[in-house]
Amino acid sequence: MMSQLLGLALWIQSKGQGITFVDLRDTETQPTLAWVILTALALIGISLLVALGVGTGVGLLRIWIRKRFPNNRFNGRDVEPLTFLHLNDHPDHEGSSSL
């Protein structure tokens, strides 16, 4: 049975070349100016989309942090200032400025 199927397949097969090779690659080796410009515009567009996505993500993260932790240093609300100038604490100073 198997040999009959093999014989039938060989009989149906075309008499020409059995395997054809199709190459779909571009045969031009030098890119044209239009191709370079379109590629540059595509790269710029993709970069802008990535920057927009990252910026939106950082903004959403900041909003989430503000809602989750409302009184923290990352929101610009210090519990106490980092530096404190003691200008009026000197005993010789009486509130007047003299040069």
Tokens of 5: 């199927």
Q: pTM of the entire structure?
A: 0.46
Residue-level pLDDT, tens digit, the chain, 99 residues: 777 777 777 667 666 666 677 777 767 677 789 999 999 999 999 999 999 999 999 999 988 988 888 777 666 665 666 677 777 766 665 555 555
Direct distance between the N- and C-terminal alpha carbons of the chain, in angstroms, rounded to an integer: 118
Domain boundaries, the chain: 33-73
**H/E element, 61:** helix 33-68
